[in-house]
Structure 1
Amino acid sequence: MRKRYRIAIALLIAGILLLSACSNNTNGDTPAGEGVASGGETSAVGTAANLTEPGTFPIVKETETLRVWASPPSWVGNLEDNWFTKYFEEKTNIKIEWVRANMEDYRDKLNLMLASQTDMPDVILSWGIGNAQQIAYGSQGLFLPLNELIEKYGSATQQVLAYNPIIESAITAPDGNIYGLPAINECYHCTYSHKMWINQQWLDELGLELPKTTEEFYQVLKAFKEKDPNGNGKADEIPLTRGSWQGGIDFFLMNAFIYNEAGNRLMLQDDQVVQAAIQPEWREGLRYLNRLYAEGLIDPEFMLQDDNKVKVLTGLSPQENRVGAVASGAMAFVDWSEDNKVKEQFVALPPLTGKEGVAYAKQYAFGLGSGNFVVTKEAKNPALALRFADAIYQLFIDGDYNLYGEEGDVWVKAREGEVGLDGQPAKYNVLKSGEQPNNFTWGNGLNTFMTADWRNTQVVTPGTWNHEKILYDETKDKYVGKGPQQQMPGSFMMPEAEATEWEELNNAVIKYLDESVDKFVTGNLDLDKDWDTYLSNLEKIGYNRLAELTQSAYDRQYKGK
């Protein structure tokens, strides 16, 4: 553990997936870090003496209770009766008292709880507490610093931090403290998740090649609309629509004009933060999208579409399918039933080349989420709280696939000779993939440590349709190597005032940009008459200031300025 863990004992830290509470002062007047300075040696509930050696199971000799706030997806059943809850409690000897909020509305409930500081849990296991909140609530003493706890009790956490130097830098606050533990997910296909899926069977039916340019793509969509490729004698084809995940109508196509980071549409060029959404190339990309929409080539309902709605359009057979292309990070927009051949119609479309020769694939930085585990001041045994999160990391390190559910029911060990996504020897085979509802996992929102080795060693059976294998191969063959020269980091740590300002500006900018893209595409805003007003509004909202704050944070955190 690095020296600054010893130096930062008196500072607060919050985590990425779980909120662990580390102080027995319920009045909120304990100085920052005081509850951690002793390393959790004594407490009203338990003592460090009750803990076993770090990195071993069970965690405690005598059962202790931890109050955990969690926000799993709504399709996860009762957490008290959950199979993995029982498995984890038995393995760790920790009794979990759950406080639940569903993923769909967790942020409002989390913000209300933190603002009121009422009914606080020991730890929060969540989708992520923003950097601004980590810094603010850390400085107030609501979240405890984890530095010394990691050094004393976090053997698995130390391995996570050592895995990639980016991790520790990304989760360390400007005051030197770590307030939150990260979720690591080296998802190969997620790195290039702004994909376009196109109906290869329709291309074959019409004698068309896979389009390589924006103009060729336009001609393909026109053919899809006009030439009845599904053969039902009806003009019911929808040339282009969108799915749920990474399905922004501009996400894939704008990269033929200018690099599109999505979100706040800030990009990095030669270490300089550039506002892509005010550039002439961005305007031309919008003009192209507007052309597609005006000619009926984009689904008129695209703003309302999601995977479940598109599944209705793609149907249960190629003859029922009405869709030619889908902007989406994955193929969740088709039914995966074994006898449904629609899923076999679609292939990924490589980045298109625009008139100026631009052809990018959006590339995400290292798969790290911040603030999923934090320890609150209500934790009577901070060491136990840290060991709870550390145990989850340890399961990933140990290759304990019971994280997916029970062995033999949800997964089995790979047999000799079976291979994984990358062609190397496999380690496990998932029998129930994406089953919803289920009551055998905690769903998403853990402080995961899913390395490339963990993800890629899933069994792939030759000759079968395998979604993960398709995503892996299509990414490898069509997107890797086509990203920008520089990637915008996925996380910034800033002083509290800057972090709060950045988050407010970022939310406002994203909202305005998303709305403006849709309006320009549909013609509700005119690219000639309304462009100057659009630029003026962005300036008023604070796009320039957002870029300045991002530049300052980048220089400070990643360039050492």
Structure 2
Amino acid sequence: MRRAHTGIIPLNGGVRTMRKRLMTLAAALMALAMLLAGCNGSNNKANGNGEASASSGATTAADNFNEPGTFPIVKNEETLTVWASPPSWIGDLDDNWFTKYFEEKTNIKINWVRANMEDYSDKLNLLLASNSDLPDVILSWGISNAQQIAYGSQGLFLPLNDLIDKYGTATKQVFDYNPIIKSTITAPDGNIYGLPSINECFHCTYSHKLWLNQSWLDKLGLEMPTTTDEFYQVLKAFKEQDPNGNGKADEIPLTRGSWQGGIDYFLMNAFIDNEAGNRLMLQDDVIVQAPVQPEWKEGLAYLHKLYAEGLIDPEFLLEDDNKVKILTGTEEAGNKVGAVASGSLSWVDWSDANPVKEDYVAVPPLTGPGGVSLAKEYAFGMGVGNFVITKAAKNPELAMRFGDAIYQLYLDGDYNLYGEEGDVWVKAKDGEVGLDGSPAKYNVIKSGEQPNNFTWGNGLNTFMTNEWRNGQVVTPGVWNSEKILYDETKNKYEGKGPEQVMPGTFMMPEDEATEWEELNNAVIQYLDESVAKFVTGSMDLDKDWDKYLTELKKIGYDRLTELTQQAYDRQYKGKM
């Protein structure tokens, strides 16, 4: 009995073991069947065309992808959650014309998370700090190098290197366009965490401009000024001689616009190289602090003189393009503005019937008392961190293909990025020329129209080369802001920058990058405030100069300079 009982136990145990194995096998077969069903789309939701569509949370089966670099990206519709920050004047992204065009072209449905350009930085910082409810992709006006390195090392941003190698056919062409692109966005750990925006905007390269009312010069019998002293005399004449002819002393000799309109941006370059921002300049491979030099103090004294004599708009700190449009008006007698510091012409009404817009011309770089005459020159036109993939992306390949597709549209010359062909733009006709005189490729009919809902704006990984930008039709005899900006830059600013151009961005190890960004923000804020105070006289150049220098040291200007020098030596010295 005992032996029989002993014999039964292994038998029953074997049955249970076999049953368990069979159940495991059955479960495995069922899982395999479900997987195969998922691959052929039989377990997916149907899209509007009755075709299968995988859920947004599932990893896309390999055979649902078409070859990299081709459209559509996937055979059956997929979904990506994308955080974006277009200008506020762009309407609902779900109903946006380009959204629908891009979704149809790629077969990727976009689940938008919306911010706006005007406050994107604050909202983006909150999103990243929360480390929750992350989208698959972030399209933005730029995520700083420090943030890319920090969040990349923490795993919040995915490294893109392997994804680019496998799926970034267009991205690799962008990198090949200029070797500086890839080197600039590669972090010290060797990873690429964000794709850049390329914008070879010729007039943006020399965007610290000053616009002068030529009709007022003509009326008063004055020549275009070439020195700071001559410019001072012109402003005095504008203030005192009623150039708008309305019998009122209502002229504002000098004010500023929104973009690149810092009151010191243009004029300080007649005294010393003014790089704006942290005001660090590059001389013989050495990072130099411009705002502590005697020439900077001399430039501030000149600006204060203009302000004290009523030649600078007393409201200049509060002005923006919309306010200046009111001041310039739509008729000669109503125009109150003599000169505007701005990188664009967006501060004047562009209506066809408005003659005022044709009155302004750019002032060439002025020569200061020390013989300095410079035009601020920006480095190669690129932003950083305009496209990143977060750790929330369940299908990084799909996300990478999404970003690569944006570059592909630019490479293909797909001007539908501006909006619908025939409505927003048309192909150029034979014989039409572009900004640089070469044969044109497209004509934007609704240039700069606001509000609109037919484009995403530029808060993404763009690839606008000189060829792209200069291919826009220019109609002879028709006022065209882009053509004016191009010609004025070509004729008056090109080639007049400093001997060495300061790089636009630096890559550093995480600890240095974080420290650099904190110091940089503090320095920029203090310098901007100090310029305003010295110009208006709330800080006295004689009494407060030493205190100002001490405060710069206290904030950490020397350390910022040291970190910038180290980064320059590692990344750019001997390579530019």
Q: Give the TM-score, by structure 1 length.
A: 0.92
**Residue 96 of structure 1: SS of its match in structure 2?**
strand
Q: Distance in 1 between matches of 2:65 and 2:332?
A: 59
Cα offsets for 1:175-206 (capped at 9, x unmatched): 00000000000000000000000000000000
2:341 to 327, 340, 349: 327
How big is the shift at 1:374?
0.4
Indicate yes or no: 2:302 matched with 1:288: yes
Q: Report the count of equivalent residues.
A: 519
**Residue 490 of structure 1: SS of its match in structure 2?**
coil
Q: Distance in 1 between matches of 2:168 and 2:350?
A: 41
- Give the partner amino acid of 1:407: E
How big is the shift at 1:103?
1.2
Contact 1:48 1:383 in 2 (8 A): no
How big is the shift at 1:444?
2.1
How big is the shift at 1:109?
1.3
Contact 1:68 1:97 in 2 (8 A): yes
Indicate yes or no: 2:416 matched with 1:369: no
1:433 to 444, 447, 464: 447
How big is the shift at 1:48?
3.2
Which residue of 2 is the match for residue 547 of structure 1? 561
Which residue of 1 is the match for residue 244 of structure 2? 230
- Give the partner amino acid of 1:548: E
Percent identity over the alignment is: 79
Q: Distance in 2 between matches of 1:110 and 1:291?
A: 41
Write out aligned runs for 1:178-189 (5 A).
Answer: 178-189=192-203
Contact 1:45 1:64 in 2 (8 A): no
How big is the shift at 1:50?
1.7
Indicate yes or no: 2:432 matched with 1:418: yes
Q: Distance in 2 between matches of 1:206 and 1:475?
A: 26
Contact 1:270 1:486 in 2 (8 A): yes
Cα offsets for 1:485-520 (capped at 9, x unmatched): 001111100000000000000000000000000000
Indicate yes or no: 2:517 matched with 1:510: no
**Residue 417 of structure 1: SS of its match in structure 2?**
coil
Which residue of 2 is the match for residue 402 of structure 1? 416
- Give the partner amino acid of 2:237: A
2:499 to 485, 508, 512: 485
Write out aligned runs for 1:288-307 (5 A).
Answer: 288-307=302-321
1:383 to 381, 386, 397: 397
Q: Distance in 2 between matches of 1:69 and 1:511?
A: 28
1:217 to 224, 231, 236: 231
Cα RMSD between the aligned structures? 0.9
Which residue of 2 is the match for residue 110 of structure 1? 124
Q: Distance in 2 between matches of 1:258 and 1:398?
A: 43
Question: Any runs of at least 4 consecutive aligned residues in structure 1 with deviations exceeding 6 A, and if so which?
Answer: none
Q: Distance in 2 between matches of 1:319 and 1:399?
A: 44
1:100 to 114, 125, 134: 114
**Residue 374 of structure 1: SS of its match in structure 2?**
strand
**Residue 94 of structure 2: SS of its match in structure 1?**
coil
How big is the shift at 1:47?
2.8
Radius of gyration: which is bigger?
2
**Residue 93 of structure 2: SS of its match in structure 1?**
coil
1:68 to 56, 61, 82: 82
Q: Distance in 2 between matches of 1:61 and 1:492?
A: 40
Q: Distance in 1 between matches of 2:226 and 2:131?
A: 55
Q: Mind listing any 5+ residue stretches in structure 2 that lack a counterpart?
A: 1-56
Which residue of 1 is the match for residue 488 of structure 2? 474
- Give the partner amino acid of 2:403: A
Indicate yes or no: 2:155 matched with 1:123: no
Q: Distance in 2 between matches of 1:367 and 1:48?
A: 37
How big is the shift at 1:146?
0.4
Which residue of 2 is the match for residue 239 of structure 1? 253
**Residue 332 of structure 2: SS of its match in structure 1?**
coil
Q: Distance in 2 between matches of 1:116 and 1:130?
A: 17
**Residue 80 of structure 1: SS of its match in structure 2?**
helix
- Give the partner amino acid of 2:515: E
Which residue of 2 is the match for residue 461 of structure 1? 475
Indicate yes or no: 2:284 matched with 1:270: yes
Which residue of 2 is the match for residue 137 of structure 1? 151
Indicate yes or no: 2:182 matched with 1:168: yes
Indicate yes or no: 2:536 matched with 1:522: yes
Higher RCO, Cα 8 Å, sep 6+: 1
Q: Distance in 1 between matches of 2:94 and 2:503?
A: 38
Q: Mind listing any 5+ residue stretches in structure 1 that lack a counterpart?
A: 1-42
1:536 to 545, 550, 554: 550
Which residue of 1 is the match for residue 93 of structure 2? 79
